Structure 1
């Protein structure tokens, strides 16, 4: 009597044996951090170990998951598919821990949040503090991305929860305005206009400018800054550009050119004599910052808890109390007008 043919393992069974959760978890962190070095920092491991683990995962799947180089990182289509599925697995594990934690009443798990750089608002600070008070065992994993990167990741469902400036609210996502900020032009201590109180917008005409990199910032969120550059006729092209506000600030302080920074963020540098406010002094360059969520993707319970806290905070404060700088008691006119000109340090 012949034996029945041996049962062949289904492709999914073989894959399940090849890939363990540690590899998937590593890949999720790499994908969310958009960087092997940043993922290594988050995971507390060396960069070579993360690179080797990613290569091992690619070999087991038989496909490339990310295009990576010294200055760039991007998921391939296969990587985006794996990230979506791995995030669902991670959410499932989080939900299991939450179900167990519910027995003790403690909410645990990790809030995965994407955020544009320098989203500075007392409301956000208060929301994070209140969330931590309510759920002290929950943790955060915050990834800083440019607005276009956030919208691309939202569209592909690789992320589903973010805080970013928006020029227009996309129909595909739920958008809640958190705050509005206004920007102004500034120069650094070595600039020829620093310390001058007799300036008008005409004095900025033809001056070298520092700006935000158009494809990754202005075209999505900061068109009002581009318009203001044109209105005062700053020199084009800009002498320096960046897609991160901190680098724009650095170049302004260094005296490379004139650039725009949110007024309430620049206030400390004004007081410290690192930045000088330039005209026009009236309210200009508004930037609206939103919390965006993807209604097609269900957040984990811990993420929903943070969303709920932010919604509560926004509902409790009218927009005028979330509009800066005036909601912070800072004037639209420059702080530098109320203080003597910075004195040069003696050698």
Structure 2
């Protein structure tokens, strides 16, 4: 008795036809028939009643079928377990990261993961958040650090890193600098400096403006938050970013924006947990303290 015989037996039982079973297992009908006959001789019992047009299980065949399925499932589980172990030895981890966003804990997580699994190749790519999410869905990247407007995308797993409101960043001598907060409609009277369309922060701003019937003037765009802040510090417009993006920049003051109920979220997003991802995620949770 071998796994090949079990596979052919299950195929004939489920197809109730030797020809269809042969097509399913990709060998000739005579090959299937010969293996089934050999199997029956080894067992000392007929497994199929061949007297009718449709092949039917005998009582012995019906009794053997669930055990054959269990044996094949166990063999597949062994293959899967070995493949997963090999994946941790010789695997590849593809990571996407939002453009211009330096997130030190992610790099810390990758470093500790690399020390634990040095033979896994790590590939890192940057793009806008909407492209990253589509790449995760399509399987082009295994996991992505992406900014999300409002809530996590459907059909994907996620780990929220940051969830916060938007702020207006202006030079200290700007008319908005001493305010405790600024209404969205008043903010829209100024030329704005923003991240590009397709980023999470820009998505939150655009959604809020559309809901309020406001059409702001976006004077300048830059892919890196620091570049957005540097432009604002030089008086070229009001920067709109999330609160944490403005922390530590001495050339601007941050003023919370009113009337925006949807938070800007930064999250790790993935479609399904491979063995490599299951190994990576604990490093991410420790690095981000989540």
TM superposition score normalised by structure 2: 0.54
> How far apart are the structure 2 equivalents of 1:236 and 1:255?
17
Q: Match for residue 266 of structure 2?
A: 289
Q: Structure 1's 110 and 158: CA in aligned 2 closer, same or farther, altered over 3 A? A: closer
Q: Structure 1's 229 and 211: CA in aligned 2 closer, same or farther, altered over 3 A? A: farther
The aligned length equals 205
Q: Match for residue 147 of structure 2?
A: 165
Q: Structure 1's 229 and 171: CA in aligned 2 closer, same or farther, altered over 3 A? A: closer
**Local SS of the residue matching 1:288:** strand
Q: How is 1:23-34 mapped onto 2 (pairs within 5 angstroms)? A: none
**Local SS of the residue matching 1:127:** helix
Q: Match for residue 132 of structure 2?
A: 150
Gaps of 5+ in 2: 1-81
C-alpha contact (below 8 Å) 1:117/1:144 kept by paired residues: yes
> How far apart are the structure 2 equivalents of 1:187 and 1:230?
23
Q: Match for residue 236 of structure 1?
A: 216
Q: Match for residue 306 of structure 1?
A: 280
Q: Match for residue 26 of structure 1?
A: none
**Local SS of the residue matching 2:248:** helix
Which has the larger displacement, 242-251 or 146-155? 242-251
Deviations along 1:210-258, one digit per CA (max 9) or x if unpaired, are: 12333x235xx64433366689999722112345534433432332110
Q: Structure 1's 278 and 243: CA in aligned 2 closer, same or farther, altered over 3 A? A: same
**Local SS of the residue matching 1:169:** coil
Q: Match for residue 201 of structure 1?
A: 182
> How far apart are the structure 1 equivalents of 2:209 and 2:111?
37
Deviations along 1:43-92, one digit per CA (max 9) or x if unpaired, are: xxxxxxxxxxxxxxxxxxxxxxxxxxxxxxxxxxxxxxxxxxxxxxxxxx
Q: CA deviation at 1:205?
A: 5.8
C-alpha contact (below 8 Å) 1:205/1:233 kept by paired residues: no
> How far apart are the structure 1 equivalents of 2:263 and 2:211?
15
> How far apart are the structure 2 equivalents of 1:130 and 1:164?
21
Deviations along 1:14-60, one digit per CA (max 9) or x if unpaired, are: xxxxxxxxxxxxxxxxxxxxxxxxxxxxxxxxxxxxxxxxxxxxxxx
Q: Structure 1's 205 and 265: CA in aligned 2 closer, same or farther, altered over 3 A? A: closer
Gaps of 5+ in 1: 1-94, 318-347
> How far apart are the structure 1 equivalents of 2:153 and 2:126?
20
Q: Structure 1's 304 and 281: CA in aligned 2 closer, same or farther, altered over 3 A? A: same
Verify: 1:141 aligned to 2:118, yes or no.
no
Q: CA deviation at 1:153?
A: 2.0
Q: Structure 1's 171 and 206: CA in aligned 2 closer, same or farther, altered over 3 A? A: closer
Q: Specify the structure having the higher radius of gyration (Cα).
A: 2
Verify: 1:117 aligned to 2:117, yes or no.
no
**Local SS of the residue matching 1:248:** helix
